[in-house]
C-alpha cells in the first residue's frame, strides 16, 4: 500500500529530473552522422581550408534575436557551425552575433553591406505583425570583405561559409581563360559556372585572334560551345600553350539537333573535331540515344483541351552512374542533350585515358540526317550498341614532351545559361567546375561542391515493369503477414489435435 | 527483467492469437503501400531512390495505428477485473506496464520489418543513402515508442477502450501537430519550448540520417514520463489517501 501523496511526490520529482536532463541535453549534445556523404559533418575541403588559414577571419553575423522557433534553429545551427570552424582553425575564425533590430546604427550597417531583412508574418496578441528578420553575415580579413546576404539552412550553410573564407584567403587566384571570338557564350552567359569558379579562380575572356599566344600564367583554357570556325593559327597557339604544359577543357557538340524544326543533322565543321583527332580523340557522327533519358514537355490536344505532358526522349541521355574519378566524385545526375560518342584511339602507354561520362548499357546510335519524331515508338533494337562515352580525360604528353591535360565533353550547351539566363541543374555545373579544378591541379573544393546534392534518380523502367514493382511492393508485405497468420493457425490446430489425443508435451 | 519478458511474450502472442494484430498490420501496410507506391506523390512520381515518402506516410499512419493498439492494454484488464488477478502474482505494476509497452513496441517493429521489401526495391532502383533510411526507420521506431507510452497512459486512466483511444489521439495530436504549429507562431522561449516538444522536430532530425543525443533523450523522456504516470494510475487502486 502506498500513499497518494508519495506517488504524487515521486511524479513531481521525475518531472523535474526529466526537465533538467532535457535542458542540459539541449546544450550538451553529440551527433552521429550516418548519411552516405557525411552531409552534416564538415567536409574534408572545409577542414583543409581552415587548417591552411594563416590570418584571422572575423565573422560578424547579423541575426535578429526574436525569431520564430524554426528560424531560431537556423541561427543556432550557424552558431554551432561557427564554433566548429573556430575550433578547427585554431582560433583563426572568430565570430560575434549582433541583432540589427535593437539598434538603428547596426541595422544601417547591415543594410550597407547588402544584408536585407526577410519580412515574415508573426501572430502576436491576436494580431498579425510583420517582423524584419535579419539572417546575414559579413566576413572580414584585413581590409577585404565577403558578404553572405542570407544564411541558408542545411548543407548550403557550410558551402557558403567555406567558399567565402576561401575567397578571402586566396590572394593571388590562379587564372582560367574562356576562349572567345567564335560565337562562344560570354562570361555573363555562363552565370552559374563563372559564379562557382570565381571562388578559386580569376576568369578572363581570351580572344586568340587578337592575342598572339595563350599567356603562360593561364592554368586552364576553356573552350565552351564555339559555333564558328577556329582558325589554324589559333589552334597552333593552343598547341603551343599545351606544349608548355597548358591544360584545355573542351565542351563542344559536332551534332546539330533542333527540336523546333524537328530536324537532326551533323553540324558544320569548325575545325575542332579535326584538332581533337590530332590528340587521338574521335568524335562520332551519329546521335547517341539512351533508354535512360530525360524528357521533353509536349503540348497535346485532346478534343477541346490542351494539356502538357512529359515524354521520354532518348536523344537526351540521362547519366546517373559515373566511373570513379576525381572529376565525377559525388555527382548524381547529368543530362546531355543531342550528343555524339567520343572514343580514344591513342595507343601510347604514357598518356593516361579515363572515360568520365558514359551512357547506360541500353544505348544506341541514330544516323543523320533524320527527322525527329516525338511519338516514335522506341524498341530494344534501338538500344543495342552498349555503353557510349560522352566525356573523357587525357593526361600525358599530348603536344610535345611536356605533360598536359585535356578534358573533352561532347556537348557544349549543358553549362550555358544563355541570355536571358536559365537555371541549369547543379550537377552539370559541378561536373565542369570539377573538371577545371582537376585540370588546374586544385581539387580542394570538389568534396564540398557535390556534398548534399540530393538528387538520387531512380532507373528508368518500362511501364509494365513499373506497374509490377508497384503492386509487388503493396501486396507482398500484406501476403507475408497473411501467410504467417495461416502458419500460426495450422500450428495451433495441430497442437489442439495433440492435446485432444491426450499428448500434452 | 524475466517477468517483464514473460508479460511481453504473453501480450504479443495474445495479439497474434486474436485478429487485432493482423487487422491492424494489414491496414498499416495497406495504407503505407498505397501512398508510397500507388497514389499521389509516390516513389515513381518523385523519381528519387529514397524512402522519404514512406517515412512521411508512416509518421501519420502510426499516429492512428498506435492508439488502436494500446487502447485495450490496461483498460480491458481493469474492466474485466483481470488486473486484480494479475496483481495477485508476484509482479509489480511497473513490470506490467513495461511488459505491455514492450509488447506493443515489438508489434510495431514487426509491422515495420514487413516494409523492408520497400527498402530492397528502392535500393535496386537506384543508389540509396542507406544511412538516411536507417535513420528513418529509427525515427519511426522512437516515434512509436513515444506514442505507445502515451497510449498506455490513456488506457490506464479509464476502463473504456473507446475513451482510451480518443484520449490517446487527443494527447497525441499535441505532439504530432499542435506543438509544431505553436512553435512557429510563438517567439522567444515559449516558441523554442513548443518546438522542442513537437515530435516532428525530432522525427525529421532523425530521418535525415543523423543520430542526435537530443532526439534520443527527448524520446526516452516521453517514454519514461508516459510509463511512470501509467504505473502511478494503475497503482491507484492500492492508494491510501
Whether residue A31 and residue B213 make contact (CB cut-off 8 A), yes or no, is yes
From A311's Cα to the closest Cα of chain B, the distance in A is: 14
More confident residue, A393 or A171: A393
- pLDDT exceeds cutoff 70 at A505: no
pLDDT at residue A291 greater than cutoff 80: yes
B181 to chain A, minimum CA–CA distance in Å? Answer: 10
pLDDT grade, residue A274 (50/70/90)? very high
Chain centroid to Cα A504, Å, comes to: 67
- Identify the bridge partners of residue A308 per DSSP, sorted by sequence position: A299
b vs e for A263-274, b when ≥16 Cβ sit within 10 Å of the residue's Cβ? ebebbeebbbbe
- Asked if A34's CB is within 8 angstroms of B184's CB, the reply is no
- From B131, B208, B235, residue closest to A2, measured CB to CB: B235
- ipTM of model: 0.90
Q: Do A124 and B187 touch (CB under 8 A)?
A: yes
Kindly report the nearest CA distance between residue B200 and chain A, in angstroms.
12
Asked whether the beta carbons of residue B126 and residue A320 sit closer than 8 angstroms, the reply is yes
**pLDDT at residue A69 above 90?**
no
CB proximity list for A260: less than 8 A, separation 6 or greater: none
What percent of chain A shows pLDDT beyond 70? 98
A495 at interface of B, judged by CB pairs closer than 8 A: no
C-alpha cell at A85: 570552424
Sign of the dihedral defined by the CA atoms of residues A59, A62, A64, A67, in that order: negative
Report the C-alpha gap between A337 and A318 in whole angstroms. Answer: 9
Res B210: pLDDT: 86
DSSP conformation letters of A66-100: S-BHHHHHHHHHHHHHHHHHHHHTTT-EEEEEE-T
- Is residue A405 a contact partner of residue A326, using CB atoms and an 8 Å limit? no
**What pLDDT sits at residue A341?**
93
For B198, counting Cβ atoms within 10 Å of its Cβ (0-12 exposed, 13-18 middle, 19+ buried), the class is buried
A418-465 pLDDT, tens digit per residue, is 878 888 888 899 999 999 999 987 777 777 777 765 667 787 777 888
Cell numbers at A215, concatenated: 599567356
Q: With 90 as the cut, is the pLDDT of residue A401 above it? A: no
Give, for all 241 residues of chain B, the pLDDT tens digit. 688 999 999 999 999 888 888 999 999 999 999 999 998 888 888 888 889 899 999 999 999 999 999 999 998 888 888 888 877 777 888 999 999 999 999 999 999 999 999 999 999 988 888 988 999 999 999 999 999 999 999 999 999 999 999 999 999 999 999 998 887 777 778 888 888 999 998 998 898 888 999 999 999 999 999 999 999 998 887 776 5
Say if residues A88 and A53 touch (Cβ distance below 8 Å): no
Cα A137 to its chain centre, rounded Å, is 24
A2 Cβ under 8 Å from any chain B Cβ = yes
pLDDT at position B173, please? 96
Smallest Cβ distance to A458: which of B49, B131, B213?
Answer: B49
Q: Check: CB of residue A477 under 8 Å from CB of residue B115.
A: yes
Q: What's the average model confidence in pLDDT over A320-348?
A: 88
- What pLDDT, on the 0 to 100 scale, is given for residue A454? 60
- Smallest CA–CA distance, residue A34 to chain B, in Å, is 5
pLDDT, mean of residues A52-80: 84
Cis peptide before A210 (omega within 30 of 0): no
d(CA B145, CA B223): 6
- Which residues have CB under 8 Å from A455's CB, separation 6+? A332, A333, A427, B48
Alpha-carbon gap, residue A108 to B173, rounded angstroms: 44
Q: Cell triple for residue B178? A: 499542435
Mean of per-residue pLDDT scores for chain A? 86
Confidence check: pLDDT of A287 > 70: yes
Cα B222 → chain centroid: 11
Q: What are the helix (H) ranges across A400-449?
A: 426-439, 446-449
Grid coordinates representing A41 are 559533418
Counts for chain A of helices (H) and strands (E), in that order = 11, 25
Beta strands at A144-148 and A135-141: parallel, antiparallel or unpaired: antiparallel
The answer to whether A95 and A86 have CB atoms below 8 angstroms apart is yes
Closest-CA distance of chain B to residue A3, Å: 5
Q: Report CA-CA distances (Å) from A165 to A93, A418, A491.
A: 9, 30, 68
Q: Among all residues of chain A, which has the CA nearest to that of B228?
A: A11
Please tell me the predicted confidence (pLDDT) of residue B11.
Answer: 92
List the grid coordinates of A393. Answer: 580525360
Q: What is the DSSP string of A472-494?
A: HHHHHHHHHHHHHHHHHHHHHHH
Note the pLDDT of residue B240. 66
pLDDT at A356 over 90: yes
Name chain B contacts of A320, Cβ cutoff 8 Å.
126-127
What is the structure's pLDDT at A27? 82
Helix (H, G, I), strand (E, B) or coil at B50: coil
d(CA A278, CA A60): 54
Cβ–Cβ pairs < 8 A, chains A and B: 186
Residues 185-214 of A with CB under 8 A from B: none
* pLDDT-based confidence at residue A118 (cuts at 50, 70, 90): confident
Summarised one tens digit per residue, pLDDT across range A236-268 is 999 999 999 899 999 999 888 777 777 888 888
pLDDT digits (tens, 9 = 90+) for A131-144: 888 999 999 998 88
Residue A359 confidence class, pLDDT cut points 50, 70, 90 = very high
Amino acid at each position: 500500500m502506498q500513499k497518494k501523496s508519495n506517488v504524487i511526490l515521486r511524479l513531481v520529482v521525475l518531472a523535474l529530473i526529466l526537465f533538467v536532463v532535457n535542458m542540459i541535453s539541449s546544450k550538451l549534445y553529440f551527433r552521429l552522422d550516418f548519411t552516405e556523404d557525411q552531409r552534416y559533418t564538415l567536409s574534408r575541403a572545409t577542414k583543409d581550408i581552415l587548417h591552411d588559414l594563416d590570418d584571422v577571419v572575423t565573422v560578424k553575423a547579423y541575426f535578429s534575436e526574436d525569431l520564430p522557433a524554426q528560424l531560431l534553429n537556423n541561427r543556432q545551427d550557424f552558431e554551432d557551425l561557427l564554433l566548429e570552424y573556430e575550433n578547427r582553425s585554431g582560433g583563426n575564425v572568430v565570430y560575434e552575433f549582433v541583432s540589427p533590430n535593437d539598434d538603428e546604427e547596426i541595422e544601417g550597417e547591415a543594410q550597407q553591406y547588402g544584408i536585407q531583412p526577410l519580412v515574415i508574418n508573426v501572430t502576436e496578441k491576436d494580431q498579425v505583425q510583420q517582423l524584419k528578420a535579419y539572417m546575414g553575415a559579413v566576413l572580414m580579413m584585413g581590409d577585404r570583405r565577403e558578404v553572405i546576404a542570407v544564411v541558408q539552412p542545411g548543407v548550403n550553410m557550410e558551402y557558403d561559409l567555406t567558399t567565402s573564407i576561401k575567397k578571402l584567403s586566396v590572394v593571388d587566384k590562379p587564372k582560367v581563360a574562356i576562349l572567345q571570338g567564335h560565337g562562344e557564350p560570354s562570361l555573363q552567359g555562363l552565370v552559374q559556372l563563372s559564379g562557382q569558379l570565381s571562388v578559386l579562380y580569376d576568369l578572363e575572356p581570351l580572344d586568340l585572334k587578337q592575342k598572339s599566344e595563350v599567356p603562360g600564367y593561364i592554368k586552364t583554357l576553356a573552350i565552351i560551345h564555339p559555333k564558328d570556325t577556329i582558325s589554324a593559327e589559333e589552334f597552333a597557339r593552343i598547341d603551343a600553350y599545351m606544349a608548355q604544359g597548358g591544360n584545355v577543357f573542351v565542351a563542344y557538340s559536332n551534332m546539330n539537333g533542333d527540336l523546333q524544326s524537328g530536324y537532326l543533322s551533323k553540324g558544320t565543321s569548325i575545325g575542332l573535331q579535326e584538332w581533337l583527332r590530332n590528340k587521338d580523340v574521335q568524335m562520332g557522327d551519329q546521335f547517341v540515344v539512351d533508354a535512360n533519358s530525360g524528357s521533353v514537355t509536349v503540348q497535346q490536344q485532346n478534343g477541346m483541351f490542351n494539356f502538357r505532358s512529359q515524354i521520354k526522349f532518348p536523344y537526351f541521355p540521362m547519366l546517373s552512374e559515373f566511373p570513379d574519378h576525381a572529376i565525377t566524385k559525388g555527382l548524381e545526375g547529368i543530362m546531355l542533350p543531342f550528343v555524339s560518342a567520343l572514343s580514344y584511339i591513342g595507343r601510347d602507354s604514357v598518356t593516361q585515358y579515363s572515360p568520365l561520362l558514359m551512357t547506360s548499357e541500353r544505348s544506341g546510335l541514330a544516323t543523320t540526317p533524320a527527322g525527329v519524331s516525338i511519338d516514335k515508338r522506341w524498341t530494344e533494337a534501338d538500344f543495342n550498341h552498349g555503353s557510349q562515352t560522352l566525356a573523357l580525360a587525357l593526361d600525358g604528353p599530348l603536344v610535345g614532351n611536356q605533360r598536359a591535360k585535356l578534358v573533352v565533353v561532347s556537348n557544349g550547351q549543358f553549362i550555358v545559361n544563355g541570355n536571358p539566363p536559365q537555371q541549369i541543374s547543379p550537377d552539370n555545373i559541378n561536373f565542369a567546375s570539377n573538371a577545371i579544378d582537376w585540370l588546374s591541379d586544385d581539387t580542394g573544393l570538389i568534396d564540398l561542391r557535390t556534398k548534399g546534392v540530393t538528387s538520387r534518380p531512380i532507373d528508368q523502367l518500362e511501364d509494365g515493369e513499373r506497374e509490377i514493382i508497384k503492386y509487388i511492393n503493396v501486396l507482398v508485405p500484406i501476403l507475408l503477414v497473411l501467410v504467417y497468420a495461416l502458419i500460426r493457425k495450422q500450428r495451433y490446430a495441430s497442437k489442439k489435435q495433440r492435446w485432444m489425443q491426450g499428448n500434452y508435451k | 527483467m524475466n517477468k517483464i519478458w514473460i508479460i511481453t511474450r504473453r501480450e504479443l502472442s495474445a495479439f497474434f492469437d486474436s485478429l487485432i494484430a493482423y487487422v491492424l498490420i494489414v491496414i498499416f501496410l495497406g495504407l503505407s503501400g498505397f501512398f508510397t507506391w500507388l497514389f499521389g506523390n509516390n516513389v515513381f512520381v518523385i523519381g528519387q531512390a529514397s524512402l522519404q515518402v514512406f517515412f512521411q506516410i508512416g509518421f501519420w499512419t502510426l499516429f492512428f495505428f498506435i492508439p488502436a493498439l494500446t487502447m485495450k492494454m490496461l483498460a480491458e484488464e481493469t474492466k474485466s477485473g483481470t488486473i486484480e488477478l494479475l496483481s495477485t502474482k508476484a509482479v509489480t505494476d511497473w513490470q506490467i506496464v513495461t511488459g505491455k509497452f514492450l509488447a506493443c513496441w515489438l508489434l510495431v517493429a514487426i509491422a515495420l520489418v514487413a516494409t523492408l521489401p520497400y527498402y530492397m526495391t528502392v535500393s535496386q532502383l537506384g543508389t540509396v543513402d542507406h544511412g538516411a533510411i536507417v535513420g528513418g526507420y529509427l525515427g519511426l521506431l522512437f516515434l512509436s515508442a513515444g506514442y505507445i507510452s502515451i497510449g498506455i497512459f490513456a488506457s490506464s486512466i479509464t476502463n473504456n477502450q473507446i475513451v482510451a483511444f480518443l484520449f490517446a489521439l487527443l494527447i497525441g495530436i499535441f505532439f504530432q501537430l499542435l506543438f509544431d504549429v505553436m512553435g512557429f507562431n510563438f517567439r522567444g522561449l515559449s516558441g523554442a519550448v513548443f518546438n522542442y516538444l513537437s515530435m516532428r522536430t525530432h522525427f525529421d532530425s532523425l530521418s535525415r540520417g543523423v543520430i542526435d543525443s537530443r532526439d534520443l533523450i527527448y524520446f526516452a523522456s516521453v517514454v519514461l514520463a508516459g510509463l511512470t504516470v501509467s504505473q502511478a494510475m494503475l497503482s491507484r487502486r492500492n492508494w491510501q489517501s
